Amino acid sequence: MRAIARRKAEQVAARFVRATVLAADTVIDLDGELLGKPADAADARRMLERLSGRAHAVHTGVALLHRPSGIALDGVETTAVEFRPISADEIERSIASGEPFGKAGAYAIQGGARAFVQRLRGDLDNVVGLPLRRVGRMLEQLAAAVERAAP
């Protein structure tokens, strides 16, 4: 995730010489199996069935790149999420809503999938897709590093 976020930031920064770029990438870790975005309805169904009644980790890699100075920072935020058992009907309703598509692990905690969550340990914003507290700390670090690097 960290490397993917870094590549995303570098691709954007290459086009803008005075940019400060923030990029992120989120993946679901279910006992070492990494779940990205589902390819189709069958893939979304498979993911939600696997997550049902189980705990998993949400990892978001974040990269911050200040193009004028070349200073780059990155990190990973992890949040533990546990789903209650999800019925087949609930999975089908979720898929029919379109919510799983474009979402790591085939769910959006800020949407209908919040009803699946039994327990959450860590930063909710991370599960949504951008760990704001970590980003805030990184922006403070970047500002300090840019100030130190200034002539």
What's the CA gap between 114 and 108, in Å, rounded?
A: 7
The DSSP call for residue 39 is S
What's the CA gap between 94 and 97, in Å, rounded?
A: 5
Take residue 1 and report the two structure tokens written for it. Answer: 């995730």
Q: Is 31 a catalytic residue?
A: no
Please give the angle made by the CA atoms of 58, 72 and 139, to the nearest 5 degrees: 70
Cα-based distances in Å from 117 to 5, 16, 125: 26, 40, 14
What's the CA gap between 29 and 38, in Å, rounded?
A: 14
Q: Which of 25, 74, 123, 125 is catalytic?
A: 25
The residues annotated with a catalytic role in the active site are 25
